[in-house]
Amino acid sequence: MSPAKLVAVSEPPIARWLFASVQAAPIWLVLRLYLGYEWLMAGLGKIGSPAWTGAQAGAAVRGFAQGALQKTGGEHPDVAGWYAAFLREFVIPNAPAFGWTVALGETAVGIALVLGLFTGIAAFFGCFMNLNYLFAGTVSANPLWLLIAIFLMLAWRNAGWWGLDRFALRWIGTPWQPGEMFHRR
């Protein structure tokens, strides 16, 4: 049996430019700041709300989940049965914890994106939240935010160039290439 041959598929020049070149950083800066601001405002609004994090913590999550459960009927339901079960059996009973998690998560994603710190990771968690809102049958701005987050994840190498990633990633590194912090003696 002969060893498998390694085949390298080069990426198109436009993809390399968009997702790896610092010349594209201004594009990602605008998108990153827009999405970060939106997440930050959404999170801060929840942190200051009694229904999310205050005296009635969890009331908003409970109401949101119960609204989603009403979208499970019909021939083409907006909410899948498996997600409805997750909401009914896990989210609603733990609504106060989810209220805090959502409020702090949205705020953290917003701060990280505005600062350009761990941009790809922040975009991933924003993506995760958007997917959960979409699974719950809520459209609003979620498809747009999801699309921007996906592109920011693809552009993780240069999306935070005009931000703290420019310094943090060089110092910390990546899982496959440790940064300066690990080479000091």
- Residue 183: what pLDDT? 79
Q: Provide the percentage of residues in the chain whose pLDDT is more than 90.
A: 83
pLDDT attached to residue 180: 85
**φ, ψ dihedrals at 85, nearest 5°:** -65, -40
Which residues does 51 contact at the CB level (< 8 Å), separation at least 6?
57, 58, 59, 60, 63, 99
CA distances from 34 to 31, 116, 118, 123 (A): 5, 12, 16, 12
Beta bridge partners of 177: 174
Q: pTM score, two decimals?
A: 0.90
Determine contact, residues 106/42, Cβ cutoff 8 Å.
yes
Please name every residue paired with 173 in a beta bridge, in sequence order, or none if there are none.
178
- pLDDT score recorded for residue 182: 85
Helix (H) or strand (E) holding 69: helix 59-69
Over residues 5-14, mean pLDDT? 90
Confidence of residue 185 (pLDDT cuts 50, 70, 90): low
**Which residues partner with 174 through β-bridges?**
177
CA pair distance 89, 163, nearest whole angstrom: 41
List the beta bridge partners of residue 178.
173
